[in-house]
Amino acid sequence: MTVAPYQSDLFKRCKEIYGFLSDCQRQATHDQHAKLANLTVPIRAVEPWLALQYLEDTYPIHFYYSTAQYTLLGLGITITQQTSGPNRFERMQQFVDVWKRRILSSNQSGPIIKPYFLCGFTFFDQTAVDSLFEAAQVFVPQLQIRQSNNQTTASLNYLIDDSVNITRIVEDIRRRLQTLETAAETANHHTSLSSALKTPKVIRDVGNFEKMVSSVLPTLNSPTLHKVVLADALDVLSASHFNIPASLKALGTAYSDCYVFSLSNGQGPVFMGASPERLLSITATADGKRLTTDALAGSAPRGNTSKTDQLIAKQLLSNPKERYEHQVVVEFIVEQLIQLGLKPEFADSPQLLQLANIQHLHTPIQAALPHSLKPLDLVKMLHPTPAVAGLPRLTASQLLKATESFDRELYASPIGWIDANGNSEFIVGIRSALIDGRQARLFAGAGIVAQSNPRRELAEVKLKLQALLGSLM
C-alpha cells in the first residue's frame, strides 16, 4: 500500500503533535477547565458517504449533511449536550458559546478547520419516554470530514484536561488516521457498493391521511386557525437491512438540488432524507453576518413533457389556494425577523423551485445580522414555520398533537450545524425517513387550508413519499 506523503510526514511529526497537546493540557490546568484540542490534516480524497460506509462500525454515531457546494460528515462524539423543554435552544446556544471559547487548534499543513457543532432537534420540545432521539442534542464529533471544491479535509477533536494521558492520545491519533487512510484507499478501489437495490414492501399507511384532512377542515373555517400542515407516515419493510451510505448516495444523485442529511442515535436507528427546505443559513464576512431563509410552500407535480411542465408551473403560480398558503409563510417569517429588529429583503412575488418530481413556490428572504444575534436565537424564532406546522403555530401545533396518530420525532425539525467562525446552516427535516434495520417509517406532509381537497392533498403526500421510497437501498 502506498501511503500519501502528508500522512507519512504526519506520523514522523508525532513529537510536534505531542507538544501541541501538552500545551493544551497546560492551558487547561491553568484555566481550570477543559480545552477542546482540534487537529486538522489533509487526507486522501474520499467521498464522505463512502467514508461512512467503511467507518460506521468504528463510529456508531454519525451526522451527514450534503449540499451542492460541500459535504460534512461527523463521526463519534467528543463533547455533547442534551436537553428538552421550551428553553432548549437557549441552553444549546450557551453550550456552543462556552466551548467555542475553549477551542485550541493546530494544523498539519493547510488551513485549520475548526470543530463544527452538529445539531438535531425534535419537532416538539418534549419527547415521549420511548423516543429514539433527544428533544435537543448538540455535539462535536471525534472525527470530522469535510469535502468542498474537490478537497477533502479531516479534523480530529479531543477533550483535554489535567488528567488525560497525552501519549495515549497521540497513539489514538495515529490509529485513527491510519484507519481513515486505509478506509479511503479501500473505498476508492470499491466505489460501488455491493448492496443491491431493494423493492421495499409497504406494510401500512400509518396516518390515514385523507381522513385526517377531512377531520380538520371544519376547524379551518373558523377565524382561529388559518392553516395546518398534516404529516402522513408510511411504514416499510425491506428484505434485509437498509444500507444508509448507499441510500445517501442514491438520494444525492436523485436530488442533487436538495439537502441530503442523516443523523444516527448510536443504537441503530437513523433519521435521513433529502429536504428542499432551508430554515436558515448565516454567512460571516469581514463586513458582518448575513442571514438567508426560505419561504417554501405551495406545491405541484412536474409534467411528463416540457409543455405540460410549463403549463403546471404556470397554474401553480396563479393558483389562489397555493398562493395564499405560500403568502402565509412569507408573512410569518418576515414578522418574526422584524420582531428581532431585522430588516428583511424579499421579492413581492414567489419564484419556482423545481425539483426532480415536484415544484414549489419559493421566496428567499435575506437580512443583515447584528453580532448579538446567535444562530439558535433565530432557529427558535423560526421553528416551526407555517410551512410545517400551520398558523397560528401554537394552535396548529396543538391540533397536530391531537390529530396525528404517530410521533413526529425529528420529522420537520431543525437539523444543521454551527461552526466556530460564526457560520451556520439549518434545514427542515422533511421528505425524510426513520430507519431501523429492516424497518423504515417515511414522512411527508401537506399544508391544509379551508379550500383544501382531501383527495388532492393525499395525492401530494403520496408523490413526496414515493420520491423517498425509490431511493432507499
CA atoms within 13 A on the CB side of 459: 9
First to last CA, the chain: 31
Residue ranges with strand state E in 350-465: 351-354, 358-369, 390-391, 414-419, 424-428, 432-436, 439-448
The rounded distance, in Å, linking the Cα atoms of 267 and 178 is: 26
Amino acid at 211: K
Q: Backbone phi, then psi, for 72, in 5-degree steps?
A: -120, 130
- Check if the beta carbon of residue 351 is closer than 8 Å to that of residue 292: no
Distant-in-sequence, close-in-space partners of 192: CB < 8 Å, separation ≥ 6: none
Q: Following DSSP, what letter does each residue of 215-279 receive, concatenated? A: HHHHHHTSTT-SEEEEEEEEEEE-SS---HHHHHHHHHHHTTTSEEEEEE-SSS-EEEEEE--EE
Listed in sequence order, the DSSP H helices in 32-165 are 48-55, 88-100
Q: CA 311: distance to chain centroid? A: 33
The rounded distance, in Å, linking the Cα atoms of 212 and 95 is: 40
- Catalytic residues, by residue number, are 227, 277
- Check if the beta carbon of residue 262 is closer than 8 Å to that of residue 401: no
Q: Which residue in this structure is represented by grid cell 438567508?
A: 292
- Check if the beta carbon of residue 360 is closer than 8 Å to that of residue 350: no
- Check if the beta carbon of residue 248 is closer than 8 Å to that of residue 64: yes
Please classify residue 205 by burial: count the beta carbons closer than 10 Å to its beta carbon, then call 0-12 exposed, 13-18 middle and 19+ buried: middle
Cα angle 228, 67, 4; round to 5: 150
Would you say how long the chain is, in residues?
473
CA atoms within 13 A on the CB side of 379: 33
